[in-house]
Amino acid sequence: MWSIAVTVTVGIIIGIFAKWNDKFKKINSNFQIIGLSVLLFFMGVSIGSNPEIVHNLSFIGIKSLAFSVFTVFFSVISIYILTHLLRRNPS
Amino acid sequence: MSFIVVISVALGILYGIFYSDSFIVINLGFLSQSTLAILLLSVGLDIGSNKSALSGIKDKIYSVLIVTLSVIFGSLFGGIITASLFKMPWNEGLAISAGFGWYSLSGVILTNIGNAELGSIAFLSNVFRELITFIFVPIIAVRLNYLSAIGPAGATSMDTTLPIISNNTDSNTAIIAFINGVILSALVPILVPLLYTVM
């Protein structure tokens, strides 16, 4: 929790005081995509190497999937409707 | 982007199944923590180098309110719907959905105050929520709007899913996502036991 806040804050501070150009922003953006892929690979490894999850996947998987689909769906729809009702569409 | 997500996770799962005693698996905690730290530094650089991202705090508080309240009520409503579908008690559905994607914590809490199966569902459903987030954030950001793209992430929008939100939206949205994640993460250890025992 604290390490997260510290890392992001350090990044923000460096970002404010350093002089970045568009080329750097492009490199940084591509770097994020590579880093994300590595992180996602590790996330997959943590699922695959846990026999309890692999074993239980079919047993409780459908229920779990339903929970995630419905929570995501209603969270997104609620934000979308509110941003439109309140005329906020930043994209 | 969504394609990269699916491929990376799938490769990871296969690697985990077939090489369960390798160096990567043994040092997984350290490896993923370090990768995340470097990524978050990169997201911070993004935010800091964008001058407009750090202005207009009043405007941001308004956006955070919309997003955070929507995620809370949307998730809990989704929890009730799913519980009804599977004829589960509402308190279990509410407690699972109040994990807001933070699988390790909600899984541990519900294993302790509930039972192993409930804990596993909480764990898995929040793992799935994170996976769904990685796949759908790029799509939602284009098809709906940037603020809606924070919705799937829930509590994880302050760490694991912040890079994908930042990469597919703008610095302004990344800051709102981060604050949203901090608030929701603080609520998880309070709401999960509360909804399970009180409802």
Sequence ranges of the domains in chain A: 1-49, 51-91
pLDDT at B53: 67
Token code pair at residue A50 = 């846990």
Q: How far apart are CA B28 and CA B35, in angstroms?
A: 11
- What number is the average pLDDT over the span B125-149? 93
| Complex ipTM value | 0.84
pLDDT at B186: 83
Q: How many CB atoms lie within 10 A of CB B33?
A: 13
**CB-CB neighbors (< 8 A) of B48 in chain A:** 11-17
Please count the residues of chain B.
Answer: 199
For an interface test with B, the pick among A23, A33, A38, A45 (most B C-beta atoms closer than 10 Å) comes out as: A45
- Residues B160-192: tens digit of each pLDDT: 899 999 999 998 899 999 999 988 888 888 888
Cβ neighbour number for residue B45 with a 10 Å cutoff: 25
CB-nearest to A48 from B14, B44, B134 is: B14
Query: Residues B22-73: pLDDT tens digits?
Result: 899 889 888 888 888 888 888 788 777 777 667 777 788 889 999 999 999 9
CB–CB contact A63 B121 (8 Å):
yes
Q: Would you call B35 and A66 a contact, using CB atoms and an 8 Å cutoff?
A: no
Token pair listed for B44: 């911070």
Checking if the pLDDT of A88 tops 60, the result is no
> A86 near B115, Cβ under 8 Å?
no
* A7 token code pair: 């890392």
* Contact at CB, A39 and B50, closer than 8 angstroms: no
φ and ψ of B19, to 5 deg: -125, 55
Which positions in chain A touch B111 (Cβ < 8 Å)? none
The rounded distance, in Å, linking the Cα atoms of B41 and A14 is 9
Nearest residue of chain B to residue A70 (CA atoms): B78
Confidence of residue A23 (pLDDT cuts 50, 70, 90): confident
Residue A18 has pLDDT above 90, yes or no: no
Residue type, A86: L
Count the neighbouring beta carbons within 10 Å of the beta carbon of residue B9. 24
Q: What is the pLDDT at residue A67?
A: 95
What is the domain partition of chain B in residue ranges?
A: 2-198
- Residue A89: pLDDT above 60? no
How much is the pLDDT for B1?
63
A75 in B contact zone (CB under 8 Å)? yes
Which regions of chain B does DSSP assign to beta strands (E)?
none
Please indicate whether, in this complex, the C-beta atoms of A14 and B44 are within 8 angstroms of each other.
Answer: yes
Residues 6 or more apart from B157 whose CB is under 8 A from it?
A: B150, B165, B177, B178, B180, B181, B184
pLDDT of residue B2: 67
Check CB contact of A34 with chain B, cutoff 8 Å. no
Mean pLDDT over each residue of chain A, to the nearest integer: 83
Q: Which residue has the tokens 């964008």?
A: B50
- CA pair distance B77, B104, nearest whole angstrom: 22
As a whole number of angstroms, the distance between CA A82 and CA A76 comes to: 10
**Considering only residues 52 to 71 of chain A, which have any Cβ-Cβ distance to chain B shorter than 8 Å?**
52-54, 56-57, 60-61, 63-71
Distance CA B141, CA B192 (A): 29
